[in-house]
Every structure is written in C-alpha cells, then in structure tokens.
Amino acid sequence: MAWTDPTDVLLVEDDEHVRLATSQSLRLAGLQTHSVDSAEAARAWLPPGFAGVVVCDVQLPGDSGLQLLQALKEQDPALPVILVTGHGDIGMAVEAMRDGAWDFIEKPFSAEHLVEVVRRALAQRRLVLENRRLKAQLGGGPADGLLGASAAMEQVRTLIGTLGPARVDVLIHGETGTGKEVVARALHAASGARGAFVAINCGALPESVFESEIFGAEAGAYTGANKRRIGKLEFAGDGTVFLDEIESMPMALQVKMLRVLQERSVERLGANTAVPLACRIVAATKVDLLGMAGEGRFREDLFYRLDVASIALPPLRQRRDDIPLLLGHFCAQAAERLQRPVPAWTAAQFAAWQARDWPGNVRELRNFAERWVLGLVAETPAPVPPTPAQPAALPQAPLDEALAAMERQWIVQALQESGGNIAKAGERLGLARKTLHDRIRRLGLDADAYRGS
C-alpha cells in the first residue's frame, strides 16, 4: 500500500524526558515516529494527507491537546488522534472521545499498551485511506462489487468500459451477491446518459401490478386508475432500466417485454398510441436462461433479444486473491460509519476466511465485515471441512516439501469431492481447468482414480 508519508506516528508531548522515552518505545516497535513539543508545532509539521496517527498529551503549553484534536478533525475527520491523559483528565478524555478522539491512554502507561493501541489505530487508518483511494480510482461510483485485481474482475471492468458508451442491451450472469446491480450502475455511469437509473426486481412485483408499473397506464385503464401513470420504462428517459431476476418475469409479460424491446416503444395500458423509448435495458439473472428456455419456462426469443452483450460475474470462491482487498474495504467502510476501530485479526483467522467458499459472495463478505467491526464474530470458520482422507498435521520439513505436500492434499480432496471432475475441482480450488490439469500431472495424480469416490 502506498503511503503519502513514511511517518507512522506524530507524537505531541511537552515533557522532554517523556517525549524521548515514548519516541524510543515506538521506534523500538518498528514505528516511524516524529515528535514535537506543542500543538502549534504539530499543526506546522503535519503534512497534507498524513497517513499515520497522532498521539497527543492533553495538557500542553499554548493550545491544549483537545484544541489540537478539534483542529485536526476539521481537516480530516477520519484521522486517529490518541489522547494521553493524567488521572484527573479521564472525564475530559471520555468527553473528547465523543468529539472524535480515537482512544485515550492514562498515565502511567506501559510501552506495550501504547504500541498495541497505536497499531490498531494505524490498521484502521490504512483501511480508511485505501478505501478513499479506491473510491477516487473508480470515480466515486458504486465500487463494492468491482474491487479486485484478479483477471476475472479486470475483464469485467474492461467490458464495462467497452459496453458502457455503446448503450446496447446487456445481460449480466452471476450468483446471488456477486454485485450484478453494481455492474448495472457502472454501465449506466459509463454510458454518460443523463436519464435515470431505474431498478426493478422482477421477482418482487406482484403480477397484478407488474404491467402498470413497467409500462404505465392511462386514467380509467383499470379500476382505481384515477390519473395517468408513467411506467418505469418511460420514466427512465435515456437512462438505464435494470431488470433484476429476469427469470422471475411472468410468461405472459415476457411476450409484451419482447415486443417493447423489438419496437423500442411502449403503450401504456388503455392508450392507443405508442411512446418511443430511449432507455437501455440491463437484465440480470442467477440461473441458466437458455436452459430454462429449453424447459419451456422462459421465452427463447426474449433471451436472445436481451443477450445482445453479456457480462459474467465470477463468484468469490473463484477470485480468492481479491478477498483481502474486499474485506479491508468493507471493514474500513463499517468502521467509518459505525465510528469504531477495526479489531485486529490473526494470520490464521485470515487464512481461514480466504479459504471459505462464501456462498453469499460479496454481499456475505460485506455483512461479515460489519459483524467483525461490531465484535459479533464468535469464532473462526475452518478453512476446509475435515474428511477421513485428510492426513494428520504435517511433520517438520523444508518449506518446499511442506508446501508440495499441502498442495497435493488439497488437490486430492477437491478431486474426491468432485468425483474426479477436473472442471468442478478447479472451481472448488479457484484454478483454471488447464492450470489444475498441469498440477495434477506434475504431482503424478490420476483424476480418473477418483471418479465415483
């Protein structure tokens, strides 16, 4: 992660002996520290976009630590300021935390406690700054589901950049929680259209009101229609209409939607004239629409009309390398919104989280980050369910041998679970079919031996 300044801690302490001892403790812990003796000196030194944290004594000559806190919060509300207080200042420090102080430490304090508090504050600071950087990089748009450096997400972003300005209809495929509406909004933003973005969940609208909601109705078209109603397709103007869960659209209405898409015009219920449409249609589904069409549960002609261009969103289990970035982003968001620090996690916990399948995908990961920041995560999930075939703990061995043994163990387990199907095993491991096939051959394994296991 790029830092705008190499300093981790700005220490503000007027007592020279305390300042020197505290600076030494922080530096011995590997924290780059710059120390000053007053609030005025702190404001003069503090660079724009400071990426570290501030540790400040409450009692200072000139402006107090509380006055410095107020000034720093006006410049950057997310800058962690840790106040150092004497015993008689605790009530004042608690009030200061309500005003935005990140934490306070009571004198006398141990070096270990100070370093622990500073590290936690730095972890949150880094997440907040990374969140800001990502928002700026993505133009402040709906970034959550588009974060990631994996090849799959790079391809999604490339397609959005290509299809956005083209304004062709797009069909988005993806499991629940992969970010289909986020992609639809990104396409809308990339189109440059000034019309509205209108989201419609086809599975949530009752069939009795679906037609009037989508197509609109004239006054008197049905009982209770006292005035003209503009449908959502017409309301969008030259914007985007997002049809989520398109597979849930009733068959009778699929015929009407097909005609609207072919003619690029819509007739309100009870009207005799058609209204031209300028909006783009972006539909989304979590199922195989063509398979549904083959079973007679979805119109094949509507599928081909919607599928002018398509974007496939990969599930989170197929882009595990993106989990650290996404989890950091969501924790930073939650911490900023809830005004709480991000609890530290261990390497073992994070390895377990990265190995999870996350069936709810990005949405589930975002909810997990909120629970983590709130302190509601009770235990760490196991990265791999235990099976009889899973060997005991690895003996001590050179690193290369240990890694090779672990790789073989995981591939064998994936082949067992998939019945020797390399494509399914690759999906379980987040590997391309060819990559997994090459590794199986290198390890001397036989996928056919696991068929039917």
- What is the model's pLDDT at position 89? 64
In this structure, the chain runs to a length of: 453
Lowest mean pLDDT among 77-81, 148-152, 241-245: 148-152
- What is the model's pLDDT at position 336? 83
CA 185 to chain centre: 15
Per-residue pLDDT at 294 exceeds 90: yes
Q: What is the CA radius of gyration of the chain?
A: 29
Long-range contacts of 130-138 (CB under 8 A, 24+ apart): 130/1, 130/325, 130/328, 130/329, 130/332, 131/328, 131/329, 131/332, 131/333, 131/336, 133/2, 134/329
Which neighbouring-strand residues pair with 106? 85
Q: Are 226 and 219 in contact (CB under 8 A)?
A: yes
- Alpha carbon distance, N-terminus to C-terminus of the chain: 45
Nearest Cα to Cα of residue 283 among 258, 265, 263:
258
Question: Token digits for 274?
Answer: 């058609």
Distances (CA, A) of 130 to 145, 177, 274, 332, 400: 16, 23, 50, 8, 33
pLDDT tens string 67-126: 999 899 888 888 999 998 876 666 676 677 777 788 888 888 899 999 998 998 888 788
Nearest Cα to Cα of residue 412 among 435, 380, 443:
443
Question: Token digits for 90?
Answer: 């605790």
- What is the model's pLDDT at position 394? 44
Residue in the structure block whose two tokens are 């081909």: 304
Residue in the structure block whose two tokens are 């969103």: 313
Confidence class for position 383, pLDDT limits 50, 70, 90: very low
- What is the model's pLDDT at position 337? 85
Lowest mean pLDDT among 54-58, 275-279, 323-327: 323-327
CA 273 to chain centre: 45
Per-residue pLDDT at 246 exceeds 50: yes
Per-residue pLDDT at 148 exceeds 60: yes
Confidence class for position 218, pLDDT limits 50, 70, 90: confident
Per-residue pLDDT at 388 exceeds 50: no
Question: Token digits for 145?
Answer: 């589901």
pTM comes to 0.57
Q: Are 413 and 387 in contact (CB under 8 A)?
A: yes
The residue ranking higher by pLDDT, 372 or 205, is: 372
Nearest Cα to Cα of residue 82 among 133, 28, 15, 13:
13
What is the arithmetic mean of pLDDT over 231-238? 91
The residue ranking higher by pLDDT, 133 or 336, is: 336
Nearest Cα to Cα of residue 328 among 47, 161, 128:
128
Q: Are 195 and 240 in contact (CB under 8 A)?
A: yes
pLDDT tens string 310-327: 999 999 999 988 888 888
DSSP character string of 106-172: ESS--HHHHHHHHHHHHHHHHHHHHHHHHHHHTTTS--GGG---SHHHHHHHHHHHHHHHHT--EEE
Q: Are 42 and 16 in contact (CB under 8 A)?
A: no
What is the arithmetic mean of pLDDT over 256-272? 89
- What is the model's pLDDT at position 393? 46
Q: Are 285 and 245 in contact (CB under 8 A)?
A: yes
- What is the model's pLDDT at position 384? 41
The pairing of strands 265-266 and 275-276 is antiparallel
d(CA 266, CA 235): 11
Nearest Cα to Cα of residue 51 among 113, 115, 104, 130:
130
Per-residue pLDDT at 199 exceeds 50: yes
d(CA 215, CA 220): 15
- What is the model's pLDDT at position 345? 76
